[in-house]
Amino acid sequence: MVHVDLSGAQKFFTAAGPDYKLAALAHETLASGTGLGADFIGWRSLPQHIKETELDRIVAAAEKIRARSTALVVIGIGGSYLGARGAIELLKPVPGKGDPRVFFVGNTLSADALWDTLDQLGDQDFDVNVISKSGTTLEPAASFRIFRELLARKYGDKADEHIFATTDAKRGALKSLANDRGWESFVVPDDVGGRFSVLSAVGLLPMAVAGIDVRLVIDSAIAELKALDLRSPENPAWQYAAARQHLYGKGYGIEILGCYEPSFRFMGEWWKQLYGESEGKDGKGIFPASVEFTADLHSMGQFIQAGPRTLMETIVRFSRSRREFPFPNDEQNADGLNYLVGKDMADINRIASDAVREAHVAGGVPNLVVEVPKRDEEGFAALVCFFEVACAISGYMSGVNPFDQPGVEAYKKNMFRMLGKPGAV
């Protein structure tokens, strides 16, 4: 289970502190399925459901891809790719021996980005996993047409064997195509929104292809969700949700998520969608941003330290590094760094994070810490479940529906009209 440290925010709280009574009500609303958007809370039982239904097929499909291809092209946007990419970059930043490379497309309309992927793919054997509830979202649909053509040129009448569709169980353009062409298909659950879907086939198939132990991920998620059902201020999801809502009420309207592991970058992107789409509505919401420390301390550090005092900071820390890296001795000490000899790079990194936290708190930035035991499958599952539960509780605490996203349709109407789509107005 993750641990939340609120000590860096205590001096910014009022005497009453975070409202755990409201957190308790929000948790009960979530658990009872009586709140707004209750038809989209299937993510709470998703790991158990996947284990009982699709997990064996997901693992078998991944083994098939790993046996015959050196690359997997994942086509999706938003929740259809951010979680999987976050997991792979966090847990498999460097592919192991025999691990296919995973490319993510369908998340942009950039011709240059598409060509860059094609150049990297070259003449490798590859499979495609297209992920879309409807099959008509412009970015992934356009990329899928392009890669279907590439598969046809490369594999001829065997091309359909290289396509795996993750889509609606019964309807939609992509589901119809999958049925017609005989593609192996997996389900985007009806009661799970895209930003909550990483522990379904949406995230698990690409993760398994990359060499991540998805069975361990799912078992860990089942245990974590059970632990996070604790009805007490000791629940870290309550602590995080209540603390950020308390700070928001005091004028801290921007939350920066940071981590001292560069491989966490796309987990930050996943987190931004999760919280941005869930809370940003009805004129309310904490704006989610992310930074990569220590690198961004040399670019954004000045603003965080001394800019407008509207920022709160959440730092994700991993208790243990995956490997040791002792700092080397230099007899001449020309760089003056021998004072670091005897320390491991992981220790230096942690001390740096402590120093930054102390400086930011002194500078007026409330600081929350989310501590994860280790950067592995269990840690990933714990972090995903923690942020999902806390997001739902936080959303209900603020009085919004955490599970809809009506605002994302506005730009699409304009785009389809400008592109000349038939029937668009």
The backbone torsions φ and ψ at residue 74, rounded to the nearest 5 degrees and listed phi first, read -100, 125
Element (H, E) at 119: helix 111-121
Burial 194-207 (b: 16+ CB within 10 A, else e): bbbbbbbbbbbbbb
Report the distance separating Cα 288 and Cα 390, nearest Å.
14
Report the distance separating Cα 239 and Cα 245, nearest Å.
10
Q: Is 139 a catalytic residue?
A: no
| Options 277, 292, 377, 388, the catalytic residue | 277
Element (H, E) at 224: helix 214-227
| Options 52, 97, 170, 298, the catalytic residue | 298
Q: What is the DSSP string of 241-260?
A: HHHHHHHHHTT--EEEEEES
Q: Is 412 a catalytic residue?
A: yes
Record the tokens describing residue 257, joined without a space: 């998520």
HSE toward the beta carbon, residue 137, CA cutoff 13 A: 22
Residue 107's contacts (CB-CB under 8 Å, 6 or more residues apart) are 76, 77, 78, 81, 139, 140
Record the tokens describing residue 241, joined without a space: 């949700």
Q: Is 54 a catalytic residue?
A: no
| Options 158, 226, 250, 412, the catalytic residue | 412
Report the distance separating Cα 315 and Cα 313, nearest Å.
6
Q: Are 81 and 371 in contact (CB under 8 A)?
A: no
Q: What is the DSSP string of 151-187?
A: HHHHHGGGGGGGEEEEE-SS-SHHHHHHHHHT-EEEE
Q: Are 284 and 398 in contact (CB under 8 A)?
A: yes
Q: How far apart, in Å, are the Cα atoms of 216 and each of 50, 196, 224, 382?
A: 13, 19, 12, 11
How many Cβ atoms from other residues are within 10 Å of residue 380's Cβ? Answer: 25
Record the tokens describing residue 22, joined without a space: 């409201």
Report the distance separating Cα 67 and Cα 100, nearest Å.
9
Longest CA–CA separation in the chain, Å: 75
As annotated, the active-site residues are 277, 298, 412
